[in-house]
Structure 1
């Protein structure tokens, strides 16, 4: 009979602190088919003594076949799983946002129209996305404005625009969702979308600059380029559609 693979894990399990990384490390080892010899460190003194004994700065710490692998991220790397490095670019926030906005738009339009796919769903996907992107920027306007000033043509000439932009995007998104005050939402979306598209195109495709996109907030690791250009083209397209669509549609 094949013997189960075993791993030894030391992790903090204190009354006032249950280490999340320790739980993740235990779960990962078990998912990889290991029987875990779990050693909870239940006091600060016990944890400090363990770190000093093994010459490590953090817990959890895992051993496989007598070899120390390290903590949770080290285990992920050991098993060949991707470990996101500090500063590494990723499209995950944008994929998550647009996926949720698409599902919300389809669900809301289904209630409103009774149709699985409709023009309203497409409209709401764009307006919901504008609202979602505005929210991510508004979480930390200061950080957003700092990143935005790296490339936006208008903001670099008039700094307050970097603070106005997320509010304008959110306002246009809300009004377009409700189909209210088209005389306001359409010009706002056209203006900020056009300036944004020109700014991104110049920075990425003409100046060839490698920048982080402020589209999902100031802490974004999303690369400036296609995503931000798409965001601005969506706004322009939505504004033009609302100008051109037949009344009552």
Structure 2
């Protein structure tokens, strides 16, 4: 029994020791190397941190171990790999390349909500006001439009995969983010409703119909351009929400 415990203690100590080879040169400081070291330390590993300080050292290390990238982690004499390989080894989640995620849209809505509550508090001394609800939708529109405007060409390309009007008139894909931004700014200011309301109602309705047809009728698995042309957000409920929010805001402002 005592021998078994002793063996387990030895194994535990081995598991908690790691050797890390990472690149730190005058030209490049590898961020993944630093992230790997921090992760190992958070997990309780004693890290033998070996820096590769020149191109010659880096090339020699890669050749010796038959790898093409650094950093590289070794635990118990076994090569684990780089940062993402280490996360997998430790049982931590790793987002695979091209994997879909709702996180970008959720981040937009959370930020817009916080901004709306802050503006309401500053203006009225209360976060739960009707104006806060209006600002939430308007700020969401502005942030989403800003993300699209970072690369209008990529947005328009992805938009063409599902938007019905853009497929008929390609230039609509290039106009859309500017229209969304303009309507959002005017709605945030509560100004020129005669312009912002029809614009929001138009682009929101076309967008909603396009998403419903693509996702719920045609059953197509597509990515949404709502947060820009580089996103991995699935086209679906949250994509539809963006359009329904614009329609709701336009309807509310008409009712006012």
Corresponding residue to 1:189 among 200, 217, 236: 200
> Which stretches of structure 1, 4 residues or more, deviate above 4 A after TM superposition?
1-4
Is 1:143 matched up with 2:154?
A: yes
The answer for the alignment partner of 1:158 in structure 2 is: 169
Q: Which runs of 5+ in 2 are unaligned?
A: 1-5
Q: Which runs of 5+ in 1 are unaligned?
A: none
Corresponding residue to 2:60 among 49, 69, 82: 49
How does the TM-score come out when normalised to structure 2?
0.94
Is 1:202 matched up with 2:213?
A: yes
The answer for the alignment partner of 2:51 in structure 1 is: 40
Is 1:240 matched up with 2:235?
A: no
Q: Could you tell me how far apart the structure 2 residues matched to 1:77 and 1:206 are?
A: 38
Corresponding residue to 1:172 among 172, 180, 183: 183
Q: What are the Cα deviations for residues 176-227 of structure 1, in whole angstroms up to 9, with x where unaligned?
A: 0001100000000000000000000000000000000000000010000101
RMSD: 1.1
1:17, CA displacement in angstroms?
1.3
Q: What are the Cα deviations for residues 152-188 of structure 1, in whole angstroms up to 9, with x where unaligned?
A: 0111011100001000000000000001100000000
Is 1:110 matched up with 2:121?
A: yes
Corresponding residue to 2:134 among 123, 148, 153: 123
The answer for the alignment partner of 1:82 in structure 2 is: 93
Aligned residues: 245
